[in-house]
Amino acid sequence: MKLRLLRCLRPQPSKQAAIGQKESELQAVHDHHLLKDMSKSPFRDTPVKILLLGTAESGKTTIIKQMRILHINGFTDNERREKIPEIYQNIHDSILQLVGQMGVLGIDFGSCTSERSADYILSLPGLAPEWPMNEEYCDHVMALWNDVGIRACYNRSNEFPLLDSAKYFLDNFERISNVDYIPSTEDILHSRKITTGISQISFRVSIPKSMGGGEQEFRMYDVGGQRDQRNKWIQVFEGIQAVLFLISCSEFDQNLREDPTQNRLQEALKLFRAVWQNRFLASAGLIVFLNKYDIMERKIRAGKHIVDYFPEYEDFCKRPQQDNCFDESDWTKLFIKQKLVDITQEPFKRHSRNQVDMGTSERECYYHFTVATDTGCIRDVFCDVQKMILSENVAGTSLL
Ligand SMILES: Nc1nc2c(ncn2[C@@H]2O[C@H](COP(=O)(O)OP(=O)(O)O)[C@@H](O)[C@H]2O)c(=O)[nH]1
Ligand SMILES: [Mg+2]
């Protein structure tokens, strides 16, 4: 199915201004006909398939969890309890990693008591303690998280692989270590488990009356993001209507777990180029989530600057002031987005069998800044995405 995005639903400000009154009216009539046609179109009976792509830890599995919260009925108490070992493991991995890095970074503990707590933690196996956590373990974890040395180590956590949710779980440790603990929805959204296979979620959404009414089934596929998982991706490319590409805005100062010499944001941009140019995905709509901007903003407030990793940022900021750029976070967001836009405008020649064979593509790409752990944010963004995809289908069927 050939897909085309309807500009009317996501107008670009500059383009919007250029469209005269008359053209807008014509466009509205055209859209009305398309939307009216939609109820007759065949795609309603077939699921709309969305493929989540992006490097490891960009937020793909978190989006699947959000779909479950928003469109299915979330998590039962039993399912919540089943997440306890995963959350315990996240906490255990985080504290072990922090304690282990103290020596590597040459940071001292704030007290002898903390040193003893560190010895205790290092004497434990890599596997997290079982439920319920024993009191001794809890006391040591709490003492360490309150230690000034450990906090200094945490502030340098871009220099080693640490779970993004480490702070969230350690800040909430007292509640989590309680015997009556049942993970909250927020805890589940913050927990992390590596995706190795391909997982799928199906859900139905009601379509607004203005778009023809009724329901549409969506199927979303989540694949592993690590380098060694990417050869599996091709298996799910067939019949995909849209790719949701996740890129983490916060990883500009971090290196890959798989290859500590490689900057994570550079790797994500390389992957984006490969996805954009992939011939098996050439007819799919492309939507980008510039994710984790909450962490990016936190980093900038803590004195990190993207220019130290991407020197070209300096020239980028000399451009005329953008309306919506008030501070360094805004400029950083815009800079990362521009990197993606530049990739979609690169002319390219076919180098491999997997690349599309064309000059510059006419395809459009849609960008959203997101915080995947924030249900409200994903609800709003997904509402837009849904409209776009449904409109694309309408446009697609009208072209058949
Ligand atoms: N603070 C914050 N954490 C996020 C965000 N998106 C994902 N995470 C966390 O980042 C970690 C990796 O996310 P995950 O969905 O497993 O990434 P995946 O490897 O692409 O599936 C998890 O601990 C998530 O809770 C975000 O926008 N903000
Ligand atoms: Mg995953």
pLDDT tens series, the chain, 400 aa: 333 433 323 333 333 334 345 444 544 444 344 334 333 444 566 899 999 999 999 999 999 999 999 999 899 999 999 999 999 999 999 999 999 999 999 999 999 999 999 999 999 999 999 989 999 999 999 999 999 999 999 999 999 999 999 999 999 999 999 999 999 999 999 999 988 778 889 999 988 887 778 899 999 999 876 677 777 677 677 789 999 999 999 999 999 988 889 999 999 999 999 999 988 888 899 999 999 999 999 999 999 999 999 999 999 988 887 667 789 999 999 999 999 999 999 986 666 666 666 554 577 899 999 999 999 999 999 988 888 887 766 554 433 2
Does residue 400 lie within any of the structural domains? no
* Token digits of residue 374: 């924030």
What does the pLDDT read at residue 353? 64
Query: Which string of DSSP letters, residue by residue, matches 234-254?
Result: GGG-TT--EEEEEEEGGGGG-
**Site to substitute for ligand 1 among 169, 187, 192, 247, most atoms within 8 A of C-beta:** 192
Q: How many CB atoms lie within 10 A of CB 1?
A: 16
Residue among 186, 180, 163, 16 nearest 95 (CA): 163
Amino acid at 277: Q
| 376 and 250 in a common domain | yes
Q: Looking at the structure, tell me whether residues 113 and 199 fall in a common domain.
A: no
Answer for the pair 101, 186: CB distance below 8 angstroms, yes or no: no
* Final residue belonging to a domain, choices 182, 210, 242: 182
User: Residue 217 in contact with residue 260, Cβ under 8 Å?
Assistant: no
Question: Can you give the pLDDT at residue 258?
Answer: 83
How many whole angstroms separate alpha carbon 257 and alpha carbon 243? 25
Could you tell me the CATH number of the domain that includes residue 243? 3.40.50.300
Is there a single domain that holds both residue 115 and residue 62?
A: no
Domain identity same for 88 and 70: no
Region of residue 218 (phi > 0: left; psi between -120 and 50: alpha; otherwise: beta)? beta
pLDDT of 16: 38
For residues 126 and 223, membership in a common domain is answered with no
Distance from C-alpha of 192 to C-alpha of 240, rounded to nearest angstrom: 26
287: β partners: 244, 366
Task: Name the domain count of the chain.
Answer: 2
Alpha-carbon gap, residue 325 to 187, rounded angstroms: 33
Q: How far is CA 227 from CA 60, 231, 258, 264, 352, in A?
A: 15, 8, 8, 12, 18
User: pTM of the prediction?
Assistant: 0.86
Q: Is residue 168 part of a domain?
A: yes
Which residue among the candidates 31, 44, 55, 57 is catalytic per the annotation? Answer: 57
CA pair distance 253, 272, nearest whole angstrom: 18
Residue 79: inside a domain, yes or no?
no
Ligand 1 binding pocket, CB closer than 6 Å: 54, 56-62, 163-165, 189-190, 192, 195, 225, 291-292, 294-295, 371-373
Is 261 marked active-site?
Answer: no
Q: What is the CATH number of the domain that holds 136?
A: 1.10.400.10
Q: What is the pLDDT of residue 33?
A: 45
Locus of tokens 């007759």: 40
324 is in which domain, residue-wise?
Answer: 43-74+195-395
Question: In this structure, which residue's CA is closest to atom 25 in ligand 1?
Answer: 190
Cα angle value 224/227/228 (rounded, 5°): 80
Same domain, 151 and 290: no
Q: How far is the CA of 154 from the centre of ligand 1 (A)?
A: 18
User: What pLDDT does residue 357 have?
Assistant: 60
242 within domain boundaries: yes
pLDDT confidence of residue 360 = 47
CA 78 to mean position of chain CA atoms: 27
Question: 254 and 138 in one domain?
Answer: no
Q: Which residues are annotated as a binding site?
A: 57-62, 164-165, 189-195, 222-226, 291-294, 372
Distance CA 164, CA 335 (A): 22
* Residue 2 within a domain: no
Q: How far is the CA of 59 from the centre of ligand 2 (A)?
A: 7
Residue 28 falls inside a structural domain:
no
Same domain as 54, residue 96:
no
β-bridge mates for residue 216, sequence order: 205
Q: Considering only CA atoms, which of 31, 3, 27, 32 is closest in space to residue 16?
A: 27
Residues 216 and 356 in one domain: yes
Burial degree of 100 (CB within 10 A; 0-12, 13-18, 19+): middle
Domain boundary among 182, 203, 223: 182
Q: Do 322 and 261 share a structural domain?
A: yes
Q: Is residue 6, in this structure, part of any structural domain at all?
A: no
On whether both 233 and 300 belong to a single domain, the answer is yes
Domain C-terminal end among 113, 147, 182: 182
pLDDT at 20: 46
> Closest residue (by CA) to atom 13 of ligand 1?
59
Q: Are residues 248 and 110 in the same domain?
A: no
